[in-house]
Structure 1
């Protein structure tokens, strides 16, 4: 592990912070992050759930009920699955239930004040909704399956609808789903009495852009939506207008994922997060190892090829973004990453390097800094989240 000075906003303490990591090895790994009195961090493995199904692809922490939801993509079997786990201070997870679901779930989100859970199914071309039970388990409510009349602009990737993320809007009244295959942002209104969803008019993204992930921001009386596209490698901001059971998106800004610099060939933009202080958008890009970073093993002089994470400052008055930084992600294929509640640390899952790294963040200027801890996890890492 690499030492670092204490970060502002994270108090030096013997108390541990838990993180959870999903891997295509079929596991959920519980980690604990500690910081010594001298300021150095360490990540240690405290538990492994090996019954989490073949291909765990996404973890969601239910802040209302202290439950972890894990969706399993089911890459080698006909269906995926949804599992619920009770958390504990030690980091150990206790399974509550598991259900077979439509194939290919890659994202989930809690909505309706902790009463509902929505899933985006990539290979299953579907969205499903679930009731959250008092136990923390789930019960199926609805399934929406979509089709295309013909392949999209990129027929290899847009042969069918591919919902890639489920998001809840800031009013907890809508579920929004970027669909990479159909070049749509699908919209569903929420019935607060039942948690059921009603499909509304989708928003048409740029043909061939492949919407992947997004996030919302409320600034005064204005709501913004920020969308990353995987095929187009763009980051776009929209103002959001609320109607009766509908949302309307109006573009106000767009940029290549590398800002003013050309996007390298083969790039595949991935994550899109809002910083906890709501001042920055944080993104990641895979398959373009433009950095060579020192090895995490101090006895090994071999440099590590690294993909990238980006930071963007938000103009909250206009929704425009100012590209701040392109920084090393710590290795290859940062499919997903998350930020702690203070915004001082980013946990990045490097899918093809089987590694989790922690990167310090400057909360004032939004930039990424040094690597402060790392740990290897077997298999292809798909998701890493804080429980702080």
Structure 2
């Protein structure tokens, strides 16, 4: 899906309740990585996370967005033109505060932070989501009374094999492995991996080998390295490593909340966004994929980086800086993994960046 001048496309989600534009479509210059706004819509309240899929429209391009509200909802948008256009109405998810969504098994799934649940919705021929067909409710809590009083599902995603669905729960310090029935769309719990109490897992990302995963913890600035067995559907913890340098201790570390983890296409590096510390951490991975070590941190190019995204080429990294209201882009040194900022686009209350 290209714009008329041959540029790529990106989509930026933002919090309309904080002055954001909603969903912004931008052209991506293939040579410089620069973003240029094409159009925007505020038809979806607080579209904090986006995922691109395929639909039945003329160009086959459908963008899905959560509406991080109470009660929560999802929306589908046709993005074949410069201004995203809603396909049908908002669809309730039967949960509160959805923060993440993914496509799996031909269905749309949402992680509902407020209600601690995962919702499965069918997808119609035109790409629009149908009524919620299955809701899997998490149970449990954690030691942080202010953040872990109940389950808080923060991310849901399929594993690389497409056989399983994983949900990361900040409230219960765990990752759940689920099976999605291909016929009924019902999500059933298969197993649960418990992490160190109080770490508050937020998101995970898979290694390109499909056999390792990296769980980013929000309440403590660490990454938990895991082995992933796609045959058995088992996630096994291996190691834990800090994402901030030793000097970032005391108030600095406790006021930093990691938000996103990204793995390089060649499996040599991890990048982590740190809100509060307002940085991007660079971690090196060994050949086994089981040992991560902090290389350095660089400025995120703004304040409160809520999301990180690697462009399709793997050469540039983009940070959605919520509180400074911008998306910054960085050239990635292919030898060291260290990002160097090249530019920035104004994007009030930015929360997410995805690429076509």
TM norm structure 1: 0.82
**Other-structure match for 2:353:** 384
Q: Of 51, 55, 62, which residue of structure 1 is paired with 2:43? A: 51
Which runs of no fewer than 5 residues in structure 2 stay unpaired? none
Q: How does 1:236-255 map to 2 (within 5 A)?
A: 236-242=224-230, 247-255=233-241
Which runs of no fewer than 5 residues in structure 1 stay unpaired? 1-12, 289-306
| Contact 2:173-2:195 within 8 A present in 1 as well | yes
| Contact 1:347-1:385 within 8 A present in 2 as well | no
**Other-structure match for 2:294:** 323
**Other-structure match for 2:123:** 132
| Residue 152 of structure 1, CA deviation | 2.2
SS in 1 for 2:303: coil
1:250-298 CA deviation, whole Å, 9 max, x = no partner?
222211112555542311111011223333221111112xxxxxxxxxx
Q: Given the superposition, is the C-alpha separation of residues 218 and 361 from structure 1 closer, same or farther in structure 2, using an over 3 Å criterion?
A: closer
Q: Of 253, 267, 282, which residue of structure 1 is paired with 2:256? A: 267
Larger mean Cα displacement after TM superposition, 158-167 or 20-29: 20-29
Q: Given the superposition, is the C-alpha separation of residues 235 and 40 from structure 1 closer, same or farther in structure 2, using an over 3 Å criterion?
A: closer
TM norm structure 2: 0.89
| Residue 15 of structure 1, CA deviation | 2.1
**Other-structure match for 2:147:** 157
- Partners of 2:269 and 2:213 lie apart in 1 by 13
SS in 2 for 1:57: coil
**Other-structure match for 2:333:** 362
Task: Find out whether 1:84 has 2:76 as its counterpart.
Answer: yes
- Partners of 1:189 and 1:237 lie apart in 2 by 22
SS in 2 for 1:276: coil
| Residue 318 of structure 1, CA deviation | 4.9
Q: How does 1:60-99 map to 2 (within 5 A)?
A: 60-62=51-53, 66-74=61-69, 78-88=70-80, 90-97=81-88, 98-99=90-91
Q: How does 1:87-236 map to 2 (within 5 A)?
A: 87-88=79-80, 90-97=81-88, 98-101=90-93, 102-112=95-105, 115-139=106-130, 140-148=132-140, 152-219=142-209, 223-236=211-224
Larger mean Cα displacement after TM superposition, 349-358 or 65-74: 65-74
Query: Rg: which structure is higher?
Result: 1
**Other-structure match for 2:344:** 374
Q: Tell me the matched-pair count.
A: 339
| Contact 2:211-2:230 within 8 A present in 1 as well | no
| Contact 1:14-1:34 within 8 A present in 2 as well | no
SS in 2 for 1:352: coil
- Partners of 2:148 and 2:39 lie apart in 1 by 39
- Partners of 2:289 and 2:261 lie apart in 1 by 19
**Other-structure match for 2:276:** 287
| Residue 362 of structure 1, CA deviation | 1.8
- Partners of 1:195 and 1:364 lie apart in 2 by 44
